[in-house]
Amino acid sequence: MRKGFDVRRQPGFTAIAMGCFILLYLPIILLVAYSFNAGESIAIWEGFSWRWYASAWENEQVKDATIRSLILAASSSAVATTAAVLAALATTRSKPWRGQTVVFAMVNQPLMVPEIVTAVSLLIVFAVVKSFTGYTGLGYLILAHSAFCIPFAYMPVRARLQGMDLSLEQAGSDLYGTPLQVFRHITLPQLWPGILAGAMLAFVISLDDVVITEFVKSAGQDTLPTYMLGQLRRVVTPEINAISTALLAISVIMVTAFFFINKTRK
């Protein structure tokens, strides 16, 4: 009997897979290891030390950038997730309507268009707004990150809605429940894992973003990634490794929580 095709049995599969894992994770492992380097070199090991973590903790610029990054990520995640839930409900809980595919494509546009194009477009729009209003606050960054993060929040919410049984919502409507009551008491309790997963994904995307932030931000609005980029242009020390490791830890925690939430609900 002829066996079916199995890519794992193909010659060289193991070597190629191992090579990909090494290329992906070896630089990250070295980054984490050298964040504990006692010396000032990022390439020569001079002993184990928490020196650079303490240095980053005492750096006021790092603290300001970290607080700004967390506020920006939390605000953008909330706005993007709210918009994503509304868009997902409109595209999955209504009869098919003309232009539905176009709306779906527009919601996911930031995933398909190069980020630099989105950044330049937002820069032009906000430059016009600034010239009329004179406002230069953090609101522009929140709006820019929200617009970019909507599809990342939209996909988990839409997937969750498509996997839900409609019979309970239909029963609620048959019992004279208003659309808002049906959503609040039936849809939302089943949908919250998808909402939480989308919010966490949007939070991580916003927290790590550099390109859009670099184009849209005003003076004195450095986030942690843009602060690190500025430091790399001047002097590179293991303090950058320590900050990168902290960001990596936050991202890993969020992604792990995202995985377990989806796994538990399934």
Going residue by residue through the chain (266 aa), what tens digit of pLDDT does each one get? 456 667 667 777 788 889 988 988 898 898 888 888 888 877 778 888 888 888 888 888 888 988 999 999 999 999 999 999 988 888 887 776 677 777 777 777 788 888 899 899 999 999 999 888 888 888 999 999 999 999 999 988 888 888 777 777 778 777 777 778 888 888 878 888 888 888 988 998 998 889 999 999 888 888 988 888 888 777 777 888 888 888 888 888 877 877 776 665 55
pLDDT, residue 78, reads 95
Give the predicted TM-score (pTM) of the model.
0.81
Domain with 108 in it: what CATH number?
Answer: 1.10.3720.10
The one-letter code for the residue type at 153 is A
Which DSSP symbol is given to 169? Answer: H
pLDDT, residue 1, reads 45
User: Can you read off the two tokens belonging to residue 247?
Assistant: 């960001």
H helix runs in the chain, sequence order: 13-34, 51-58, 60-92, 100-107, 109-112, 115-133, 139-162, 167-174, 179-182, 188-208, 211-216, 224-232, 238-265
CB 226 within 8 A of CB 72: no
User: Can you read off the two tokens belonging to residue 211?
Assistant: 């390109």
Q: Which domain holds residue 228?
A: 55-265
Distance between CA 61 and CA 137 in Å, rounded? 18
Is the residue at 36 inside a domain?
no
| Cα dihedral across residues 41, 30, 27, 249: positive or negative | negative
For residue 48, report the phi and psi dihedrals to the nearest 5 degrees. Answer: -85, 135
Is the residue at 60 inside a domain?
yes
User: Can you read off the two tokens belonging to residue 115?
Assistant: 């980020």
pLDDT, residue 106, reads 79
Is the residue at 73 inside a domain?
yes
Domain count of the chain?
1
Is the residue at 205 inside a domain?
yes
Distance from the Cα of residue 201 to its chain's centroid: 4
Is the residue at 113 inside a domain?
yes
Is the residue at 126 inside a domain?
yes
Is the residue at 26 inside a domain?
no
Which DSSP symbol is given to 38? Answer: S
Is the residue at 24 inside a domain?
no
Q: Is 185 left (phi over 0), alpha (psi -120 to 50) or beta?
A: alpha
